[in-house]
Amino acid sequence: MSDAATFVADHARAILVTRRRDGGLQASPVRVLVDGGGALVAITRGVTAKARNLVRDPRFTLCSISDGWAGSWMTIEGTAEVHALPGALAGLRDFYLQRDGSVPSDEEFQATMAREGRVLIEFTVERSTPLPTPA
């Protein structure tokens, strides 16, 4: 597992920075998990600024933080791919199972994801700060 995946596995809270159409930066709080293949993933609705920005310009920066404000953090950079339904359904299911421990029936889950316009963001890490060392 990469250093970024190792850190995110224990620190799911992050700030995602994407690029607006005008070149400005847009920041959003996200929960990032490590999927079964070791990739960093997050979910959102397809209509959000972060999803639209990543479709247009896949470059991202994540600042993964600990639950406590004064804890460890890691900066992660790379490119992202936004996966929409129906192809994203298995990844969305895996994300919710990992996060919540259960999901509704297949039919109900698929209907909810479609109604909410959910998408899966898969991050490809190109650079990250080193793993923090204990003090």
Q: What tens digit of pLDDT does each residue of 59-82 get?
A: 999 999 988 777 889 999 999 999
Q: What is the pLDDT of residue 28?
A: 97
Summarize pLDDT for 41-63 with one digit per residue, the tens.
999 999 999 999 999 999 999 99
CA 107 – CA 111 distance, rounded (Å)? 6
At 133 the pLDDT is 64
Average pLDDT over residues 98-108: 93
Q: Would the pTM count as exceeding 0.75?
A: yes
Predicted confidence at residue 135, as pLDDT, reads 55
Sheet with 33-34, side-by-side order of all strands: 25-31, 13-19, 59-65, 73-83, 118-128, 40-45, 33-34
> Which structural domains are found in the chain, ordered by start?
3-125 (2.30.110.10)
Q: Are 40 and 32 in contact (CB under 8 A)?
A: yes
Query: Are residues 25 and 37 in contact, defined by beta-carbon separation less than 8 angstroms?
Result: no
Longest dimension (CA), the chain: 49
**pLDDT bracket for residue 1 (50, 70, 90):** low
Q: Quick check: 110 and 104 in contact, CB under 8 A?
A: no
